[in-house]
């Protein structure tokens, strides 16, 4: 180990080992830790091979596909702890992005951004120019290999021991990164942004007969991020909500229940890989792990040894490849990680929790420290009450995970534990006086929780709670009792007088209320009286209208009789009979022009319409007495002819009178004069 391989510098001044077997180095300028017994070793940075996307063991050579090309290293050099960057060699012609390495029928295929290569030792032969080759899949009993690429599906065929591109399958051009082939001859393709296609081809695998899309309408939790993998001979789909499988009877996707206990309810699974021992490697929510097959067929979930890789793997481009039963290669940023499964490092040992610093804002009060290995607390810090601000800094010597989460509670102040957090500082301000216990616990990504740590401290009482202050408070208390008694007597007497005045005021209010009620009653009686008068007036108006109509009809009849008698008078030759007829005509004339009768009518007319005349004179003083009479006749709603008879004028005279009244009343052309009078 030196600076080139990761140390801060090469001057080692001291060396030690912790209880977990890690080696600590005191350097010229800092401290470095070497996980000497770690099951994971890294091939990155120093080796300068690029980010790992694919790997394969073929013969006695390890092949590594990266974003810089295809590298190879001999197995003996790979296993040598002292290997150098010169042991990794780039195969000429493979510069660029490598997506896949697959060993099929004793042939190593390389899926490259520039096409398909067949790898032979330290050489790579380009057998196809298919752009962006994602994967290779052997089609059983056909001798053909299915290739998924940026632009769809193609078929490779072996002729005379050499592989070549036979044809591109027509009718499907979606990017085919995840491809599987089932027993019924269907090709399944995962399209990251649409769903999963089920493709049926003709017998020659040259043309697509049907391409059916399955997505969230068919049972998948989302249209996106549905990735195909073959696990235990079954095609499974890793989704944003666990693992699903296709039900051929219902043609729907259903959740696979046998894996639900290993993944959280809504865990996003984005990679699955089954090794030769039937162990299932996975990546879910950036958590890398393995489900190890047990003797009873169940699985044991292991994640702790792989926690450090959580933030190093390539999201959506994870790659895990078994080299042998004990070695697995994992693609990471800048290279690869080699996981040795038979490494027996003990991860069960709990880490130590430290309260590295507890202090108030005023450092003169002291700075205190504590850790979970101490048997008991030896001193009790005391902090002043005024403007107290107490900060507690804590940590844990957990080097197996990049993130350690803490949870804390201050007994006597907090009712519940805080949320888990990576913050390593808690501050309390203006705590009340009293004794407190600060509880702290920590956990790493493996969810294990060591024994919690507790630390006690005191916030002193303020000056106003001292002994002298308490004696003073007692004296003040007795003085308050004495003066309070006197004040109480005064208040009782004042209350008695106030009650007396209140009763008097109550009687006065009651009297006033009775007067107001009497006044209201009187107003109601007056209202009823006015209402009775109004009804009586309406009745009189109706009677006047009836008598007026009778008078008009009587006069009409008398005039008709008079006219008939005059015709008879003109036909008679006998003077005696003419005289009698003349006498009758005079009597009818006298009856029609009965002055007494008209005086009675006018008097009754003025009494009935007295209120109407009063309103009209107040609002329209320009109206003449004759126009006022015409207004009253209009209110009676009788015809112009009848009005002409009553007023002894012509019908034309009535119309002229109506016109003058409308003008003086300033009515619009559309306003009805009769309705106006009725509603007045």
DSSP per residue, 411-465: ETT-SSPPPPBS--EEEEESPPSEEEEEEEEEE-TT------EEEEEEEPPPGGG
H/E stretch holding 26 reads: strand 23-27
Q: 170 and 206 in contact (C-beta within 8 Å)?
A: yes
Q: Give the Cα separation of 288 and 423 in Å (integer).
A: 24
617 in the same domain as 546: no
Could you tell me the CATH number of the domain that includes residue 425? 2.60.40.10
Cα atoms found within 13 Å of the Cα of residue 136, Cβ hemisphere only: 28
Lowest mean pLDDT among 102-106, 124-128, 473-477, 615-619: 615-619
Q: Give the Cα separation of 388 and 431 in Å (integer).
A: 7
Is residue 238 situated within a structural domain?
A: no
Res 114 pLDDT > 50:
yes
Is residue 588 situated within a structural domain?
A: yes
CA 451 from chain center: how many Å? 38
Q: Dump pLDDT digits (tens) for 172-217.
A: 999 999 999 998 999 999 998 999 999 999 999 999 999 999 999 9
Cα-flanking dihedrals φ and ψ of residue 496, to 5°?
-65, -45
Cα-flanking dihedrals φ and ψ of residue 589, to 5°?
-60, -45
Cα-flanking dihedrals φ and ψ of residue 195, to 5°?
145, -150
**Where a domain ends, among 607, 629, 648?**
607
Q: Give the Cα separation of 483 and 479 in Å (integer).
A: 6
- Quote the Cα angle for 98-101-103, to 5°: 160
pLDDT at residue 447, rounded to an integer: 54
pLDDT at residue 514, rounded to an integer: 85
H/E stretch holding 27 reads: strand 23-27
Is residue 450 situated within a structural domain?
A: yes
Q: Give the Cα separation of 559 and 510 in Å (integer).
A: 72
Q: 408 and 439 in contact (C-beta within 8 Å)?
A: yes
Q: Dump pLDDT digits (tens) for 361-387.
A: 887 888 888 876 666 788 888 898 888
Calculate what percentage of the chain has a pLDDT beyond 70. Answer: 91
Q: Dump pLDDT digits (tens) for 612-667.
A: 778 878 888 888 878 878 787 777 777 888 777 777 788 888 888 888 888 888 88
Average pLDDT over residues 397-424: 86
pLDDT at residue 272, rounded to an integer: 93
Is residue 397 situated within a structural domain?
A: yes
Q: Is 204 helix (H, G, I), strand (E, B) or coil?
A: coil
H/E stretch holding 56 reads: strand 52-58
Q: 218 and 228 in contact (C-beta within 8 Å)?
A: no
31 in the same domain as 12: yes
Q: Give the Cα separation of 507 and 80 in Å (integer).
A: 113
Could you tell me the CATH number of the domain that includes residue 643? 1.10.10.10
Of residues 428 and 466, more confidence is placed in: 428
Owning domain of residue 24 = 1-37
Most confident of 30-34, 152-156, 555-559: 152-156
Rounded to the nearest 10 degrees, the angle between the axes of helix 610-619 and helix 625-635 is 120
Place of tokens 């994870």: 318
pLDDT at residue 373, rounded to an integer: 67
Is residue 123 situated within a structural domain?
A: no
Res 579 pLDDT > 90:
no
458 in the same domain as 384: yes
pLDDT at residue 212, rounded to an integer: 95
515 in the same domain as 415: no
Place of tokens 């990049």: 402
Closest to 458 in 3D by CA, of 379, 387, 366, 381: 381
Average pLDDT over residues 218-234: 92
660 in the same domain as 574: no
Q: Give the Cα separation of 62 and 444 in Å (integer).
A: 34
**Where a domain ends, among 550, 582, 607?**
607
Res 486 pLDDT > 60:
yes
Cα-flanking dihedrals φ and ψ of residue 332, to 5°?
-140, 175
- Quote the Cα angle for 627-630-636, to 5°: 150
Residue 351's CB: how many other CB atoms inside 10 A? 21
Res 168 pLDDT > 90:
yes
Q: Dump pLDDT digits (tens) for 320-343.
A: 999 988 899 999 999 999 999 887
Q: Is 210 helix (H, G, I), strand (E, B) or coil?
A: strand
Q: Dump pLDDT digits (tens) for 526-550.
A: 777 767 766 666 566 556 656 666 6
Is residue 13 situated within a structural domain?
A: yes
pLDDT at residue 622, rounded to an integer: 85
Identify the band that residue 606 occupies on the pLDDT scale cut at 50, 70 and 90: low
Closest to 390 in 3D by CA, of 352, 355, 441: 355
Closest to 460 in 3D by CA, of 562, 366, 355, 384: 384
Calculate what percentage of the chain has a pLDDT beyond 90. Answer: 39
pLDDT at residue 547, rounded to an integer: 66
Cα atoms found within 13 Å of the Cα of residue 613, Cβ hemisphere only: 15
Q: Give the Cα separation of 324 and 277 in Å (integer).
A: 10
Of residues 602 and 520, more confidence is placed in: 520
Res 594 pLDDT > 50:
no
Q: 136 and 128 in contact (C-beta within 8 Å)?
A: no
601 in the same domain as 619: no
Q: What is the dihedral of CA 147, 150, 151, 157, to 10 degrees?
A: -20
Res 289 pLDDT > 70:
yes
Is residue 425 situated within a structural domain?
A: yes
Q: Give the Cα separation of 563 and 583 in Å (integer).
A: 14
Identify the band that residue 220 occupies on the pLDDT scale cut at 50, 70 and 90: very high
Pairing mode of beta strands 382-383, 453-459 = parallel
Closest to 193 in 3D by CA, of 222, 155, 167, 169: 222
pLDDT at residue 443, rounded to an integer: 83
* Both tokens assigned to 131: 């752009």
Of residues 352 and 597, more confidence is placed in: 352
Please classify residue 150 by burial: count the beta carbons closer than 10 Å to its beta carbon, then call 0-12 exposed, 13-18 middle and 19+ buried: middle
Rounded to the nearest 10 degrees, the angle between the axes of helix 575-592 and helix 467-571 is 170
Beta strands in 75-204, from DSSP E residues, in sequence order: 89-90, 98-104, 107-112, 115-120, 123-128, 133-139, 144-149, 152-159, 162-168, 178-181, 187-191, 195-201
**Where a domain ends, among 558, 582, 607?**
607
625 in the same domain as 602: no
pLDDT at residue 612, rounded to an integer: 73
600 in the same domain as 508: yes
The count of structural domains within the chain is 4
Cα-flanking dihedrals φ and ψ of residue 158, to 5°?
-95, 120
501 in the same domain as 598: yes
619 in the same domain as 600: no
457 in the same domain as 390: yes
588 in the same domain as 512: yes
Please report which residue ranges of 572-666 form alpha helices under DSSP H.
575-592, 595-608, 610-619, 625-635, 640-647, 651-665
Is residue 245 situated within a structural domain?
A: no
- Report CA Rg, the chain: 56
Of residues 597 and 267, more confidence is placed in: 267
CA dist 246 to 176, 197, 255, 298, Å?
Answer: 19, 12, 9, 22
């Amino acid at each position: 180990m030196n600076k080139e391989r990761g140390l801060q510098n090469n001057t080692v001044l001291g060396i030690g080992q912790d209880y977990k077997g890690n080696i600590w180095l005191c350097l010229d300028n800092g401290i470095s830790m070497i996980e000497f017994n770690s099951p994971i070793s890294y091939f990155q940075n120093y080796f300068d091979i690029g980010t790992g996307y694919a790997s394969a063991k073929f013969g006695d050579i390890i092949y590594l596909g990266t974003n810089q090309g295809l590298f190879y290293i001999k197995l003996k050099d790979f296993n040598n702890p002292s290997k150098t960057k010169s042991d990794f060699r780039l195969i000429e012609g493979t510069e660029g992005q490598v997506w896949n390495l697959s060993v099929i029928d004793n042939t190593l295929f390389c899926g490259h951004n520039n096409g398909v290569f067949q790898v032979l030792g330290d050489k790579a032969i380009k057998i196809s120019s298919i752009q962006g080759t994602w994967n290779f899949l052997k089609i059983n009993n056909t001798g053909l290999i299915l290739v998924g690429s940026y632009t769809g599906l193609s078929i490779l065929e072996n002729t005379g021991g050499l592989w070549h591109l036979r044809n591109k399958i027509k009718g499907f051009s979606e990017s085919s990164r995840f491809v599987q082939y089932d027993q019924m001859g269907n090709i399944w393709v995962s399209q990251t942004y649409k769903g999963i296609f089920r493709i049926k081809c003709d017998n020659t695998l040259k043309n697509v007969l049907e391409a059916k899309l399955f997505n969230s309408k068919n049972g998948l939790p989302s249209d996106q991020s549905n990735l195909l993998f073959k696990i235990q001979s079954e095609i499974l789909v890793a989704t944003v909500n666990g693992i699903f499988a296709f039900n051929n009877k219902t043609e729907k996707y259903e959740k696979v229940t046998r894996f639900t206990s290993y993944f959280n309810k809504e865990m996003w699974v984005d990679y699955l890989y089954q090794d030769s021992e039937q162990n299932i490697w996975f990546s879910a929510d950036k958590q890398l792990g393995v489900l190890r097959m047990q003797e009873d067929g169940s699985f044991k979930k292991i994640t702790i040894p792989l926690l450090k890789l959580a933030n190093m793997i390539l999201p959506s481009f994870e790659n895990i490849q078994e080299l042998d039963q004990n070695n697995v290669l994992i693609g990471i940023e800048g290279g690869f990680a080699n996981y040795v499964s038979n490494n027996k490092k003990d991860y069960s040992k709990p880490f130590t929790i430290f309260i590295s610093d507890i202090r108030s804002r005023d450092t003169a009060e002291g700075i205190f420290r504590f850790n979970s290995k101490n048997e008991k607390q030896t001193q009790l810090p005391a902090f002043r009450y005024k403007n107290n601000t107490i900060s507690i800094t804590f940590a844990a010597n957990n080097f197996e995970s990049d993130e350690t989460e803490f949870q804390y509670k201050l007994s006597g102040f907090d009712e519940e534990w805080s949320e888990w957090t990576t913050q390593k500082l808690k501050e309390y301000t203006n705590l009340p006086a009293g004794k407190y216990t600060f509880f702290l616990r920590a956990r790493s990504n493996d969810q294990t929780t060591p024994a919690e740590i507790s630390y006690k401290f005191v916030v002193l009482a303020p000056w106003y709670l001292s002994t002298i202050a308490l004696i003073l408070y007692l004296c003040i208390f007795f003085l308050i009792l004495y003066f309070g008694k006197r004040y109480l007597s005064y208040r009782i007497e004042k209350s008695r007088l106030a009650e007396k005045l209140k009763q008097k005021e109550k009687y006065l209010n009651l009297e006033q209320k009775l007067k107001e009620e009497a006044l209201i009653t009187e107003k109601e009686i007056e209202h009823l009286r006015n209402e009775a008068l109004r009804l009586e007036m309406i009745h009189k108006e109706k009677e006047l209208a009836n008598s007026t109509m009778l008078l008009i009809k009587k006069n009409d009849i008398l005039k008709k009789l008079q006219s008939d008698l005059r015709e008879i008078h003109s036909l008679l030759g006998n003077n005696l009979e003419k005289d009698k007829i003349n006498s009758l005509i005079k009597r009818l004339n006298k009856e029609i022009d009965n002055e007494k009768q008209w005086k009675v009518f006018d008097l009754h007319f003025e009494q009935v319409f007295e209120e109407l005349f009063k309103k009209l004179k107040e609002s329209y003083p320009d109206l003449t007495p004759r126009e006022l009479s015409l207004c009253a006749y209009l209110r009676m709603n009788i015809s112009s002819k009848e009005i002409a008879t009553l007023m002894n004028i012509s019908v034309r005279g009535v119309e002229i009178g109506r016109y003058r009244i409308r003008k003086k009343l300033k009515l619009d052309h559309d306003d009805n004069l009769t309705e106006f009078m009725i509603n007045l």
